[in-house]
Chains A and B, each alone.
Chain A
Amino acid sequence: MLRMGVDIGSTHTDAVIVDEKAKLLHAAKAVTTQDVTSGVIKAMEKVMAQGADPAEIGAVMLGTTHGLNAIIERKRLAKVAVLRIGLPASAAIEPMLDWPVELRRVVEGGIYIIHGGHEYTGEPIAQLDENRIRQIAKEAAAKGIKYFAVTSIFSPVNSEHERRAREIITEVVPEAVVTLSHEIGTLGLLERENSTILNCSIMPVIINAIESVRNALNKLGLEEAQLYLTQNDGTVMSAAHAQRYPIFTVATGASNAIRGAYILTGIKDGVVVDMGGTTTNVGVLTKGFPRESSQEVEIGGVRTNFRMPDIISVGCAGGSIVKIVNDKVVNVGPESVGYRLTELGVAWGGDVLTATDVALALNTMKIDDTRIDPEIVTKRYGKYLLEAYRLIVQKVEDAIDRIKTSAEPVPVILVGGGSLMLPKKLAGASAVYRPEAAQYANAIGAATAFVGAMVDKTYSYEHIARSHALADAESEAKNRAVLAGADPSTVEIVDVEEIAMPYLPGNAVRIRVKAVGKLKS
């Protein structure tokens, strides 16, 4: 069985086809389009034109930016009824209070706070107000609202009220689509609530995108291929699952690059430098997966807390502009010529000195393009080149150092088109690897991804024995992985983390478990 992987970058959309051993068979690039979908289809058409047998392709893995773009552009978003369960607590901060006004106007379809929710111990704060849920469901349906975001206090500890709310809502409004916060995020009511609302809001966009891509695949003769979407944590979920949890697709590019670096080198633990045209993303591989960040992240101006890869982004990459002031190189980036490198770069006869020009002139990078003349760069900017190159390398080395967890040197894997310019030795690196297909690492990471799921719950070891708590979290993670499309016989736990919560008695502990498995074939 072959697999196709598609990655949408800011300038290019890549499509690759790999075999079972993750060997790259075909690769193609298309220009990323405004609507995203047509670029994806173009890349898929191009890669299929290279001769793969459509019947052999069992799965297509798509890393999409549709959801993120919709949030940032504030377009094509669904209106959402926001239901918070927590009264008498939580009234001091209404849902969406901190949202950008414009985004809130587009997304908000009614805000309701009702009685219910739990303490950190799992005991109820108040009885769930079931009658009020019935009223709200009717009211929202009368306004034509179909998406419900339900968030209950301490639902990562006890999700009972959220699950009951969904039952009632779908009883009253059978066509309702309900997202429950405990399936989306972890502790931090406002951030989890925000993520849940965004999840609802981007559902139509993702459903549309999946439909268009599905149709295109069918036209290419790939009716039998299963469609999967890549997630923020470097795993994939089935298209059907993604339609319910689209928020997990909003930050996949960086994860795909990290996974791709692992697939291309077999190195499970190390630092990955993904140097593109405008930014260089530096992330960490831990046991073959991206290390995740524990920080809150803003998406389109909204504070959220679902798991994202821990990434340091540096505005210094292939197209970055070398800034010269008073005869001195003062910076490289963050301004970039982006996709116009072959038009504006000095080596291509243009007028803007970029990082790539510097690397070409210093012969640290070679590009197979007959239009290039590195000598022009040396002639015009010769005295600046060494200093500019030193700066580029230093920025990357600093980022590597910042993302590491200890002073020990670690293996560094270079991927992305721009990374060709980087030297074979870097400070802090025990060894530097530059796999052959480095520029397609993202799409390869997508193509070879496992199905995965994450559980992040809070337990009190006073109320439940540690072994039971761990078993509970692990079995839930495994179940979720199977629901997301994993073959049950291959699902395994790849990461368990326990985090003690200060100031609380009863040994309150957060347990994070990640389960992955192979695609169901």
Chain B
Amino acid sequence: MLVNKQAIEDLAIGASILGTGGGGDPYIGRLMATQTIERRGPIELVSPSEIPDDELVIPSAAMGTPTVLIEKIPSGLEAIKAFELLQRYLNKRAYATCPAEAGGINSTIPFVVAGAMNIPVVDADGMGRAFPELQMVTFTIHGIKATPMAMADEKGNSLLLDTIDNMWAEKIARVATIKMGGTAWIALYSCIGIQFKNSAIWGTVSKAIHIGETLRDAKVRGANLLDALLDCTSGYLIFRGKITNVERANIGGFARGEARIEGLDEYKGQFMTIRFQNENLVAERNGKIIACVPDLICIIDSETIKPITTERLRYGYRVIVIAIPCSEKWRTDDGLKLVGPKYFGYDIEYRPIEKLVGEG
């Protein structure tokens, strides 16, 4: 399919849902992609199945703090520079790029690269949602290395990184990002078509576009937005209520916290606690876990049906909480080691949302 300005707008809305409370506001990314499309025309989105087995795919992304990104807008060339640097090092041209992260602001960055390089974007990513660290991708499970990895800033600095594993790539790149002024633009997890098809989560870009499109269409038709959202995400309504308390602390650079929601309507008399660290990670209903990471937990404004990011949570919001099943790839032992509740410091055995909901 061809991705035009409207599709980018839809994508940004879908990506904010897949951001599960984090991932950064897609606003900046949407405008960057919009400017690219205005200048270069629509961009092709291809299925992973269209990638020849021996052709190269290089995901592209931004790294760092959204707080800097909203102020220091990129030049638009950084991501391209990182991409080209990695291509030169590998001595091979990429057939396509794709998002490393389909949730939040990183969903739209590959469109800027694809427009400049005149290549397609693959309809797949490494998370199917948003996560805070760069080793948290399905590529890691499949043994694909983050490095060689290229990083660039808007000033013209760039660097090439080679690390012993993906965790080290995260650690070193995080420090370099800070020196680069708080945001860096990266190309990483390069792999050939056959590896990519095995390791990526398929269809996540079109899924995000579809979510945005569905909500837009439901609004025009005057249909029930929540039903439309649950339908197109295969999500579960797990709570409806009012936020009655939010506690937060800034620990180790991550905004951790807890929101308490008191039930309304069919949930009257019940309560929910959501624990978050940039993203929403654990939802407890009446003291019992009803959803947890890597499944997606989204807190949604019950009037506008727009997601509320973790930094915006506060007393008084009328919200709906929905949970969306994550990719099956995350539900393996290797997947849960990377992004399961234990990694985030919760002593919880992961159980899929479908099971937890079934038990009520």
Contacts and interface: CB of A to CB of B under 8 A. Distances in A.
Contacts of A98: 31
Contacts of A401: 242, 316
B70 interface: yes
A153 B155 CA distance: 13
Interface of B: 27-28, 31-32, 34-35, 64-68, 70-77, 112, 154-156, 178, 181-182, 242, 244-245, 250, 253-255, 278, 311-312, 314-318
Given A119-B72, A120-B72, A125-B155, A402 B318 contact: yes
B65 A402 contact: no
28 contacts: A86-B73, A89-B74, A89-B75, A89-B154, A90-B74, A92-B74, A93-B76, A119-B72, A120-B71, A153-B71, A187-B70, A187-B71, A189-B72, A190-B28, A190-B31, A190-B70, A402-B318, A405-B314, A405-B315, A406-B244, A501-B67, A502-B278, A502-B311, A503-B66, A503-B67, A503-B182, A504-B65, A504-B68
B278 A154 contact: no
Nearest to A91: B75
A126 interface: yes
A332 B75 CA distance: 50
A126 B155 contact: yes
Contacts, number: 122
Q: Is the interface of A mostly helix, strand, loop or mixed?
A: loop
Contacts of B73: 86, 89-90, 92-93, 153, 189-190
Contacts of B68: 120, 504
A284 to B, nearest CB: 10
Nearest to B254: A502
A504 B253 contact: yes
Contacts of A403: 316
Interface in A394-443: 401-407
A514 to B, nearest CB: 20
Contact of A97 (B34, B64, B242, B311): B34
B80 to A, nearest CB: 10
Nearest to A399: B316
B245 to A, nearest CB: 7
A187 B72 CA distance: 10
Given A87-B75, A89-B74, 12 more contacts: A89-B73, A91-B74, A97-B31, A120-B67, A154-B72, A187-B67, A189-B71, A402-B317, A502-B250, A502-B278, A503-B182, A505-B178
Nearest to B256: A502
Given A404-B315, A503-B64, A94 B71 contact: no
B154 A119 contact: no
Nearest to A401: B316
A350 interface: no
Given A97-B31, A501-B65, A188 B244 contact: no
Given A92-B32, A93-B31, A504 B67 contact: yes
Interface centre among B31, B68, B112 (most CB of A within 10 A): B68
Contact of B76 (A92, A117, A120, A405): A92
Nearest to A503: B65
A407 B271 CA distance: 14
A83 B187 CA distance: 32
Contacts of B253: 502-505
Nearest to B255: A502
A502 B71 contact: no
Contacts of A406: 244-245, 315
A88 interface: yes
Contacts of A505: 178, 253
A299 to B, nearest CB: 16
A428 to B, nearest CB: 10
Contacts of B316: 401-405
A271 to B, nearest CB: 11
B75 A502 contact: no
Interface string A292-332: 00010000000100000000000000000000000000000
B72 A89 contact: yes
B101 to A, nearest CB: 15
A500 interface: yes
A501 B253 CA distance: 8
Contacts of B244: 406-407
A443 B83 CA distance: 60
A92 B245 contact: no
A293 to B, nearest CB: 11
A97 B157 CA distance: 27
Highest count of chain B CB atoms <10 Å: which of A92, A303, A508: A92
Contacts of B156: 88
A119 B181 contact: yes
Contacts of A119: 72, 181-182
